[in-house]
Amino acid sequence: MNGCETINCPLLLISIFKLRSDFLNRKERRAAKKQGQAVNSSESQQRIGPLLQEAVAAHQQGRLEAAAAGYEEILKLDSENPDALHLFGVIHHQVGRGNEAIDLISRAIANGLETELVYNNLGAALRSVGRDAEAIKYYQKAIAIQPGYIDARVNLGNALRACGQENKAIACYRETLNQDPNCADAHSGLALALSDSNAHDEAAKHHRMAAELEPQSPVFQVNLGYLLFEENDLIAAKKSFENAIAIDASYATAQFGLATVLQAMEEGVAAEQAARAGLALDKNEARGWNILGLALRVQRKDDAAEEAFQNAYKIDPTLSDAASNLAGICQTRGDFCRAEYFWNKAIDQWSQSDEKGLAVEEARANRALLFLANGQFAEGWRDNRHRGSIRASQLPFEQESLPDDLTGKKVFLKFDQGLGDEIFFLRFIQNLKVRNPEITYQSQTKIASIIQRNISDIRVITDDQPIEVGDFDHVVSIGDLPHLSNMVTEDDIPASISLSARPNVVAKFTEILKSFGPPPYVGITWRAGNKTRNFLFKDVPQNALAGALSGIEGTFISLQRTPAPGEIDEFSTVLGHPVHDLTTLNDDLEGMLAVLQLLNEYVCVSNTNVHLRAGLGKLCRVLVPFPAEYRWMNRGEFSPWFPDTPVYRQSSDRSWDDAISALSEDFGNAWRTA
């Protein structure tokens, strides 16, 4: 679970050091005092007893300098005094000098101080410098001396988990809970280990138990917050992080968790404030900078977001999330070389870590879009096999290769993604048909009749018809046909599938268009896609587009899907002509195909109708946002996918001025009267 932390048991005399440390309990503290009083009768030894008592008292009060001075004075009198060595080692551990702590506590053990608490503390010191595997041995020794030593058992579980031994860690935590069912630390550790093993439902139960047993623990509140976040209960998650902050306002991790939730709630300003509050407490937390970058991106503050991601990456070059986010922002800016560099970094890092899975799949799918837009087709189609539609499907798609000869073989071919994608990828079906299989194609219902009528020698079924995968020799997603066809250059791009409208529907709309007015008939669409998925959202300022088309004597028809109230009227006012509304045809593709066949011009952003019109052999004038979606490539006045379609590109500063001006000139040259 991203962001969760393990809370370890208290270390001797260190009530203020509550995170990432192993602690001793009060009973052990009294035992340590008794050991300090076990002195011989020599003069130096007589001095050691009171000195040790004073140093321990200072240590208990948190006066570390005074305690350290006392332990040093004892060691001047007796350089191998095991109690002073042990406790002086504890102080070194407290102040972050793990290696010195290991040396001192090891010397204490060598001088005969072999108790469960000393072994536990040596394990803590070893873990502080990343020597988790060695720490395991000493926690086990502590437990062998005192099987009921709950703190050591929890710490052993934590060390096992840190070493990737999840199953052993789970067994250790379970045994701890058998001995003490109310040990919140054990519930928390078990929850984290179970999450590592993908047993998320049981993990959730133990996270909740830990928070219920110790509601004043900020760590447990944070862990519960991340659990609720993963369950998409954002309101409850937000409350848990706020509770953690109320308990400990200096807890940076809680601020970062709150920022994460607020960012998911699209409360960019509040998310930024929480992230900055966390960074004020811990400016060297790479994930904090990464969260700040995400909050800034929600607000479209891309310069500041890039700086935040860069800070995250500088602090921790292995943080795949930071590399991935840098790749995304570079790609958005059109800095394609750096985008590829950071995608490669993120993918390499995820592939070498335990976090590989969904994240690396998404990164490869995003890198595919970059490769394809750059014309790196072999690499792009290979990465495209990791796209979300494949991950969401339960079908056993073949993605590596297909036999050249499929004579007598049954192939189930399934549509992929949206309607426009389906039409786009159908151009590759001929590459499959030449292998001579029996093809059953499952199409989206809205377009199935058009596919059935226009592509011969295949059986077409709709997406609501059940199929038995076992009835087929091969199962293929149509989106994988470019890769399976070994497409590597522009010369390998097939033409769009050939489409034709029903004659009776064409006749119907011929009369409707005549009733609207004389030719030229000009269709218009100024917006397409889903605004929540920025890279697929296309939106041209409608007034600017209307101005570019003004002065033309013709009949204008809106094919805009779900226009906002008043949008068509406003477009008409700026254009200076009536705009006729055929927007409902977006749900009647047979009717839409007929109208697209009859139009003299279609001026638009990329949408399903562009693919339909390409199938009819007719051009569009397409306004392409920056950066371009891969089918329109990153440069050029035309796309090799639509070689007869002029492309008007938004500039890298997000201005449409040049594109609109070029469109106005070309359109005017074609249709404007003197």
Q: Dump pLDDT digits (tens) for 387-420.
A: 999 988 989 999 999 999 999 999 999 999 999 9
pLDDT value at 18 more than 90: no
Q: What is the CATH number of the domain that holds 596?
A: 3.40.50.2000
Q: Could you tell me what percentage of the chain is helix, strand and coil, using 3-state DSSP and rounding each to the nearest 5?
A: 60, 10, 30
SS (HEC) of 234-268? HHHHHHHHHHHHHHCCCCHHHHHHHHHHHHHCCCH
Q: Report d(CA 7, CA 90) in Å as an integer.
A: 18
pLDDT value at 136 more than 90: yes
Asked if residues 587 and 597 have their Cβ atoms less than 8 Å apart, the reply is: no
**pTM greater than the 0.85 cutoff:** no
528 and 649 inside one domain: yes
3-state class (DSSP) for residue 205? helix
Nearest to 57 by CA among 25, 22, 29, 79: 29
User: Residue 410 pairs with which residues in a beta bridge?
Assistant: 438
Q: Report d(CA 74, CA 81) in Å as an integer.
A: 8
Average pLDDT over residues 273-280: 97
* pLDDT cut 70: percent of the chain above it: 92
What pLDDT is recorded for position 245? 97
* pLDDT cut 90: percent of the chain above it: 84
455 and 542 inside one domain: no
Q: Report d(CA 497, CA 58) in Å as an integer.
A: 84
Q: Report d(CA 230, CA 475) in Å as an integer.
A: 33
What pLDDT is recorded for position 354? 56
- The residue segments making up the domain with residue 666 are 503-671
What tokens were used for 31? 């035992």
Residue ending a domain, among 257, 280, 295, is: 295
Average pLDDT over residues 106-116: 94
Q: Report d(CA 634, CA 370) in Å as an integer.
A: 9
549 and 658 inside one domain: yes
What pLDDT is recorded for position 536? 65
pLDDT value at 34 more than 50: no
Nearest to 264 by CA among 243, 234, 297: 234
Residue ending a domain, among 492, 513, 539, is: 492
Residue ending a domain, among 492, 520, 548, is: 492
Q: Which of 20-24, 59-63, 322-326 has the lowest mean pLDDT?
A: 20-24
In a domain, 570, yes or no: yes
Asked if residues 281 and 254 have their Cβ atoms less than 8 Å apart, the reply is: no
What tokens were used for 126? 């070893």
User: Residue 524 pairs with which residues in a beta bridge?
Assistant: 558, 603
In a domain, 386, yes or no: no
pLDDT value at 342 more than 60: yes
Phi, psi for 579 (deg, rounded to 5): -115, 120
What pLDDT is recorded for position 98? 93
pLDDT digits (tens, 9 = 90+) for 570-629: 999 999 999 999 999 999 999 999 999 999 999 999 999 999 999 999 999 999 999 999
Asked if residues 241 and 263 have their Cβ atoms less than 8 Å apart, the reply is: no
What pLDDT is recorded for position 359? 84
Asked if residues 384 and 483 have their Cβ atoms less than 8 Å apart, the reply is: yes
519 and 652 inside one domain: yes
| CA of residue 113 relative to chain centroid, distance | 50
Q: Report d(CA 245, CA 278) in Å as an integer.
A: 10
Q: What average pLDDT is seen over the chain?
A: 90
Within 8 A by CB and 6+ apart from 281, the residues are 250, 251, 252, 255
In a domain, 642, yes or no: yes
427 and 284 inside one domain: no
pLDDT value at 182 more than 60: yes
534 and 656 inside one domain: yes
Count of domains for the chain? 3
Longest alpha-carbon distance in the chain: 119
Average pLDDT over residues 527-537: 68
Q: How confident is the model at residue 32 (pLDDT cuts 50, 70, 90)?
A: very low
What pLDDT is recorded for position 355? 54
Q: Report d(CA 488, CA 84) in Å as an integer.
A: 72
pLDDT value at 295 more than 90: yes
pLDDT value at 21 more than 70: no
Nearest to 183 by CA among 159, 157, 204, 201: 157
Q: Which amino acid is at 139?
A: Y
Q: What is the CATH number of the domain that holds 238?
A: 1.25.40.10
